[in-house]
Amino acid sequence: MSTDVTPDAPVAVWAPNADTVLLATGNDELAMSRDEAGWWHGTLPADDAGEGTDYGFLVDGSGPYPDPRSRRQPHGVHELSRTFDPGAHTWRDGDWTGRQLAGGSIYELHIGTFTPEGTLDAAAGRLDHLVELGVDFVEILPVNGFNGTHNWGYDGVLWYTVHEGYGGPAAYQRFVDACHAAGIGVIQDVVHNHLGPSGNYLPVYGPYLSDAEGNTWGASVNLDGADSGEVRRYIIDSALMWLRDYHVDGLRLDAVHALKDSSAVHLLEELGTEVAVLSAHVGRPLSLIAESDLNDPKLITPREANGYGLDAQWSDDFHHAVHVALTGETVGYYADFAPLGALAKVLTRGFFHDGTFSSFRGRLHGRPIDTEKMPAWRLVVASQNHDQIGNRAIGDRLSAHLDTGQLGIAAALTLLGPFTPMLFMGEEWGARTPWQFFTSHPEPELGRATAEGRIGEFARMGWDPSVVPDPQDPATFSRSTLDWSELQRPDAGRLLALYRDLAGLRRRFSDLTDPRLGRVSVDFDEADGWLRFGRGAIDIVINLSTSGRWVPTVDGSVLLAFANNADAAPEPGAGRVLVAPHSVTVLGADSVSD
């Protein structure tokens, strides 16, 4: 079923249980006819003004409600939809051949807080910064329609729309065009496991939600019950829309462990198959990246080997191991990652929990990755991301606790490790602005419930509930907006230069994008506080200690050195190197591959 709605053209909505559906266009209520599959069909009048036609649907006398497949909601998620023709945009990216995820790097950002203006057009104005940083993709937090003015995006209710506050769908097309012109691919974060608490009218139309037990965020979507075929089609069509109509290069699939699907062919496998078909048609790579806390390599195992065939998945184990090694924090789910050996295991095995006991869960968790066959780039890793910062009590970044040398260590572990690195906006200069959980629910009772729920979530982590900011307070949102003037700080400029240098090393040396986990070697000394990991003929020496350390390493030239003390320099010796406190040293042998 087509998702495009243009004036003076057919329009359809799936409402299998309705006795009557009328097409409402403001002043008129037009009849619609029902087919055997439960789709209702009508025709919109011509748009004489050229600005789109507002319309909705009256279902059994109630409404009008917005179109479930609406492309625009200029007056909010409770109001009429507006027609939008995605084909009206003249694309300038005809030479764009896409970006493969293997060997690439990702920069995660939130449109509303990336710039003071909080719009897609303003974000496009900052692309030069990302080009100089050396990233290959931007990953955008969800942009679909939600109730209110600002939100993380995970309370969306209209999955085909682009939030009007960001500029709407036309601005989204301009942003993708600008990214491609700059040589940057676009990954869109999408949510298919739940809907937001305000403005969800899908149950009015049909059995979109499951009768089974819900998940952490509300009712589950009906993926395997009666009439689930059209619900699955609703999800898959929305995913294909981003990739086809908006020229997006990949999707990040939110919390796929919350997709409850007992079908013989899981939704993720079906989605992967259809995206592969579209990729072949458009002639460019299209990537699917799952967020999952299952530590199950089946997600990224090819379909030919009975996996789901997704391209990559997030690995929180990497974040936890890096976080504990640098901060010493061991509360809640960090407890199992206290030994430095946890970081060593992650660097060589991909997962820490691969069938091991998880004290936070109170059970065995995960299964091993076949390190001989699975390429390491299929794991997307970060030392900071929107979840791991924003789901802390006060949204504090690593920069609130670590010195510049330690921030450099986090950067080196992320960018020089064997996985696909992802940065979170502002980390490249040690941004001091927090990233806090913010909402703007117009309904006071919903705002109170959200604030109380946040406090309850932090109980298991042992954080002080009295310091949790009110998500509804406008100051919580404004505090989370990047302050670009921070780039004038000397320490910020120095850290940014390191990030650029690390990205440059990845481009220069193929050893640093070699996907074979079997070629990663790790040595460490828990007592002395150092860790060395080798990437082929390159050694990366990390000194977590507050004292200088002699560390065994390859004999080679120093490719990069960064320490908390800007004047500190490594002293190579025969088979070892003296490194400064809180420092990173990268050495390459004569045989290093360029």
Domain holding 569: CATH number? 2.60.40.1180
Neighbours of 537 (CB within 10 A): 17
Mean pLDDT, residues 429-452 taken together? 91
The answer on pLDDT for 538 being more than 50 is yes
**Which residue in 270, 291, 427, 539 is the catalytic one?**
291
**Measured distance CA(9)–CA(260) in Å, rounded:** 36
Residue 418 lies in a domain: no
Quick one: pLDDT at residue 2? Answer: 44
Q: What share of the chain is helix, strand, coil (3-state, %, to 5)?
A: 35, 20, 45
Q: Which amino acid is at 110?
A: H
The C-alpha atoms of residue 236 and residue 12 are separated, in whole angstroms, by 17
Q: Taking 60 as the threshold, does the pLDDT of residue 4 lie above it?
A: no
DSSP helix/strand/coil, 518: helix
269-298 pLDDT per residue, tens: 999 999 999 999 999 999 999 999 999 999
The answer to whether 318 is a known ligand-binding residue is: yes
Provide DSSP, 502-516.
HHHHHHH-GGGG---
Q: Is 98 helix (H, G, I), strand (E, B) or coil?
A: coil
Query: Domain end: 39, 69, 85, which one?
Result: 85
559 in any annotated domain:
yes
Instruction: Please state, in angstroms and rounded to a whole number, the distance separating the CA atoms of residues 403 and 341.
Output: 23
Q: Would residue 491 count as lying in a domain?
A: no
What is the β-pairing status of strands 185-190 and 250-253?
Answer: parallel
CATH number at residue 78: 2.60.40.10
Is 187 annotated to bind a ligand? Reply is no
Of 155, 254, 336, 539, which one is the catalytic site residue? 254
- pLDDT exceeds 50 at position 3: no
Q: Is 390 annotated as a binding residue?
A: yes
- Of 85, 106, 127, which closes a domain? 85
Residue 138 has pLDDT above 80, yes or no: yes
Residue ranges making up the domain that contains 35: 10-85
Q: Is the pLDDT of residue 329 over 60?
A: yes
Kindly report the CA angle at 519 between 516 and 521, in degrees rounded to 5?
Answer: 135
Q: Is 320 annotated as a binding residue?
A: yes
Q: Three-state DSSP class for 538?
A: strand
Alpha helices in 328-403 (DSSP H): 340-349, 386-390
* 182-223 residue pLDDT tens: 999 999 999 999 999 899 999 999 999 987 666 777 788 999
Mean pLDDT of the 424-451 span:
93
| Annotated binding residue 93 | no
Is 80 a member of any domain? yes
Segment 343-378, tens digit of pLDDT: 999 999 999 999 999 999 999 999 999 999 999 999
CA–CA separation, 531 vs 340, rounded Å?
A: 8
Please indicate, yes or no, if residue 64 is contained in any of the structural domains.
yes
Range from 295-299, 460-464, 567-571, 572-576 carrying the lowest mean pLDDT: 460-464
Does the annotation flag 127 for ligand binding? no
Cα separation, 359 vs 179, whole angstroms = 43
Number of domains in the chain: 2
Q: Is residue 17 part of a domain?
A: yes
Q: What is the mean pLDDT of residues 6-29?
A: 88
To the query of whether residue 67 is one of the catalytic residues in this protein, the response is no
Residue 426 belongs to a domain:
no
Judged by average pLDDT, the poorest of 19-28, 236-245, 447-456, 493-502 is 447-456
404: enclosing H helix or E strand: helix 404-416
Q: Residue 571 corresponds to which tokens in the numbers above? A: 């002293």
| Annotation marks residue 254 as catalytic | yes
Quickly state the pLDDT bin for 449 (edges 50, 70, 90).
confident
In a domain, 47, yes or no: yes
Decide the pairing of beta strands 312-314 and 379-381. parallel
Model confidence, pTM: 0.96
494 annotated to bind ligand: no
The region of weakest confidence among 12-21, 46-55, 342-351, 409-418 is 46-55
Which of the listed residues 85, 104, 136 is the one where a domain comes to its end? 85
pLDDT-derived band of residue 6, with 50, 70 and 90 as boundaries?
low
